[in-house]
Chain A
């Protein structure tokens, strides 16, 4: 981004002797606006439509299909409705904390977008400590959620807030530990560095690098789901128990902030998993034009992130919820020891093969393909057994 700024100043856009710091600040502001307003918020809104349609197809029904073509503008209608609602603050609630909580959660959602690597040149800030920054900043949601739970002056919200705080804080550990194998292999914490160390072919992804990184990827994905309060870990907002958990007392735009943060965090989860394990934006070097390559890489990145998002929606529709003590035991008794084993295993692997072992990559990719084929055969088995009508729709 510094290069872009220098390029623009050198081209004389801002006059002869512009104040450099001010120009930098202006460019940062405009780019942040583009990313947040143009990508982060619309994604958080449109993904609600996608989720509802995907859910509905899994549940043998049609999702929203009245507002706009195939219900595409449902998110707009919901947003307008929520904005027009009355802003209710409970009588005995702490007004300052109550009002501040959604903003904190929104900040925690918006900050990671600064290091999301869309393509080789499109990244807001290629920090040296990119992935560490992302992990640190997503943990800010704990403060917002605890504030929401406490300030609502509602015992059910309090239970939801405490559950959520315990959950997010606990699952930071397996998530952080699962990032370390990748860092061990590449030696850098920067997002672009990690992606450049992978290749475009599946056997060059870190997912298939060695069995320990495969396990680390699974643990990272599940821990990220737990941090984002997604089923099977959505106890804080378990509708059938706590009505809506820590957001029970919120209405209108404040509620909208909480939920945009939650749905938008899906993209962040997808971005982390893609950048670290699925090869990021890597695409075969087909053209010498920088613009064309960037566009292709952008498309690749988005396709991969959206597949991870789709996977998390699919999991949400299938699995029931775990209980709070089972969630804690899962984290501390299963994920943390396994993460340590992954870390030690990757360290040994890197010690034995410092330049990587391509054969392992091929073997693991082939194994994954075999598992995929077995999965598809089960799907066809269920389709045939139930003898229900097949209907493939072009739009979800």
Chain B
């Protein structure tokens, strides 16, 4: 009996697709339902933001940093602020640092809510998405009162933050955090501990700790593989040394260590830790100025600097070179999503197409961060 002739299908999961997080393209070589390989194709959202920095100057670049990763814009703001301050030797007042941390941690919760919500939607459950977005809307309302915008905040400035906390905001923020805790537990009973959801995610895209370090993964992706590395703990900056919080690490309790379920649960636990950080910061915030005196035409001395910020997607590195004029010579951002795209090709061998969607969602890839 002759063998059956089979062919390998080449599919295109194109830039327009309801589930790739932004404009990403994958060329999938599949044998029926099981994939041989999925080759990512990035670059659809490249906007030359790093080049624009050389034209607009230090102060003017702050709104552009929002667009590097619009889901967690506070961290990009903080990164650029810290890079410019390091170049210019400026110190941020303590109340300014606390305001930065409060805004950043709220943004971390918002970004993780979006991430877990879209992950649930990609797996098929539509309800957790709307619940997560509802909670995110409440955070957006809070930040709108703080700085006037809901997505691209432009909240921080070189030397501090742009606005102080409005009167009455602390109470509203604490009331919201009080409301968020039981909602997170309810979210967990709805979807995180659902047997179908767990079965979809365990053993999918297992990344060992060694692989995670070799492929430059950062943030929750790295911590889910068991590596306890968090910039807030290991290379502390701002006022994080004064705050008491845990760093959640994946434990493989549902499936294997480093699978998609671990990455998901690390994000859920990080949200709870952020709530703890926020409660402490809102209570401990000192009085004083929030913005240091920085000249309008800011000319840092020639030199280079590198800062790292723990954003929602991981270790975001900002590298700036100054040549003594008011415009930076070179700015470079190193984001976590770009590294995560590098590991997709290796992980996709042997997965099913439905698993590819779960894998990309669990790596929390945001297209503007990859392409800038």
A residues touching B (Cβ–Cβ < 8 Å)?
A: 55, 58-61, 155-156, 159, 162-163, 231-232, 234-235, 238-241, 243, 317-326, 382, 385-387
Cβ of B186 and Cβ of A320 under 8 Å apart? no
Please tell me which stretch of B146-154, B177-185, B227-235 contacts chain A, meaning at least 4 of its Cβ atoms lie within 8 angstroms of it. B177-185
Cβ of A61 and Cβ of B124 under 8 Å apart? no
A61 to B126, CA, bound (A): 12
Cβ of A326 and Cβ of B124 under 8 Å apart? no
| A320-B182 contact given A59-B130, A156-B11, CB 8 Å threshold | no
CB-CB under 8 A from A239, the residues of chain B are 18-19
Which residue among A318, A323, A324 has the maximum number of chain B CB atoms within 10 Å of its CB? A323
Cβ of B33 and Cβ of A159 under 8 Å apart? yes
A159 to B11, CA, bound (A): 11
Interface check B284, CB cutoff 8 A: no
A59 to B179, CA, bound (A): 18
Number of cross-chain contacts by CB at 8 Å: 90
Cβ of B11 and Cβ of A325 under 8 Å apart? no
CB-CB under 8 A from B179, the residues of chain A are 387
CB-CB under 8 A from A319, the residues of chain B are 124-125, 194, 196
Which residue among B17, B124, B130, B183 has the maximum number of chain A CB atoms within 10 Å of its CB? B124
Cβ of B125 and Cβ of A323 under 8 Å apart? no
Cβ of A240 and Cβ of B122 under 8 Å apart? yes
CB closest chain-B residue, reference A321: B124
| A232-B124 contact given A320-B200, A385-B185, A386-B183, CB 8 Å threshold | yes
Cβ of B183 and Cβ of A317 under 8 Å apart? no
CB closest chain-B residue, reference A318: B127
Chain A interface mostly: helix
CB-CB under 8 A from A385, the residues of chain B are 182, 185-186
Q: From the candidates B129, B194, B200, name the one contacting A323 in the complex (CB within 8 A).
A: B200
Interface members, chain B 182-222 (any A CB < 8 Å) = 182-183, 185-186, 189-191, 194, 196-197, 199-200
Given contacts A59-B130, A240-B122, A320-B125, 14 further A-B contacts (CB under 8 A): A61-B130, A159-B353, A238-B354, A240-B19, A240-B124, A241-B354, A241-B357, A243-B17, A321-B123, A322-B200, A323-B352, A324-B352, A385-B182, A387-B182
Q: Interface readout for B83-126 with A: 1 if CB under 8 Å, 0 if not?
A: 00000000000000000000000000000000000001111111
| A326-B199 contact given A238-B124, A240-B124, CB 8 Å threshold | yes
A61 to B33, CA, bound (A): 36
Cβ of A59 and Cβ of B199 under 8 Å apart? no
CB closest chain-B residue, reference A385: B182
Interface check B131, CB cutoff 8 A: yes
Query: Could you list 17 examples of A-B contacts with CB < 8 Å?
Result: A59-B131, A234-B124, A235-B354, A240-B122, A240-B123, A318-B190, A319-B194, A320-B194, A320-B200, A321-B354, A322-B196, A323-B200, A325-B33, A326-B200, A385-B185, A386-B182, A386-B183
Q: From the candidates B19, B32, B130, B200, name the one contacting A60 in the complex (CB within 8 A).
A: B130
Interface check B134, CB cutoff 8 A: yes
Cβ of B123 and Cβ of A386 under 8 Å apart? no
CB-CB under 8 A from A235, the residues of chain B are 354
Q: Interface readout for B238-282 with A: 1 if CB under 8 Å, 0 if not?
A: 000000000000000000000000000000000000000000000
A326 to B352, CA, bound (A): 12
CB-CB under 8 A from B194, the residues of chain A are 319-320
A318 to B190, CA, bound (A): 8
Per the CB 8 Å criterion, the residue count for chain B at the interface is: 37
Cβ of A155 and Cβ of B200 under 8 Å apart? no
Interface check B56, CB cutoff 8 A: no
Cβ of B126 and Cβ of A382 under 8 Å apart? no
Which residue among B134, B182, B354, B357 has the maximum number of chain A CB atoms within 10 Å of its CB? B354
CB closest chain-B residue, reference A382: B186
Closest CB of chain A to B233's CB: distance in Å?
A: 32
Closest CB of chain B to A187's CB: distance in Å?
A: 38
Cβ of A320 and Cβ of B130 under 8 Å apart? no
CB closest chain-A residue, reference B353: A241
CB-CB under 8 A from B66, the residues of chain A are none
A163 to B353, CA, bound (A): 12
CB-CB under 8 A from A318, the residues of chain B are 125, 127, 190
Closest CB of chain A to B43's CB: distance in Å?
A: 22
Which 9 pairs between the two chains have the least Cβ-Cβ distance?
A: A321-B124, A240-B19, A59-B130, A320-B125, A320-B124, A320-B123, A240-B122, A385-B182, A323-B354
Which residue among A55, A59, A382 has the maximum number of chain B CB atoms within 10 Å of its CB? A59
CB-CB under 8 A from B122, the residues of chain A are 240
CB-CB under 8 A from A163, the residues of chain B are 33
CB-CB under 8 A from B127, the residues of chain A are 58-59, 317-318
A61 to B196, CA, bound (A): 25
A357 to B311, CA, bound (A): 65
CB-CB under 8 A from B315, the residues of chain A are none
CB-CB under 8 A from B121, the residues of chain A are 240
Cβ of B183 and Cβ of A320 under 8 Å apart? no
CB-CB under 8 A from B199, the residues of chain A are 322-323, 326
A58 to B128, CA, bound (A): 10
Cβ of B11 and Cβ of A55 under 8 Å apart? no
Q: From the candidates A60, A162, A243, name the one contacting B134 in the complex (CB within 8 A).
A: A60
Cβ of A59 and Cβ of B186 under 8 Å apart? no
Closest CB of chain A to B167's CB: distance in Å?
A: 25
CB-CB under 8 A from B200, the residues of chain A are 320-323, 326
Interface check B289, CB cutoff 8 A: no
A324 to B182, CA, bound (A): 34
Interface check B9, CB cutoff 8 A: yes
A243 to B353, CA, bound (A): 13
A163 to B33, CA, bound (A): 9
CB-CB under 8 A from A238, the residues of chain B are 124, 354
A238 to B190, CA, bound (A): 20
Cβ of A55 and Cβ of B126 under 8 Å apart? yes
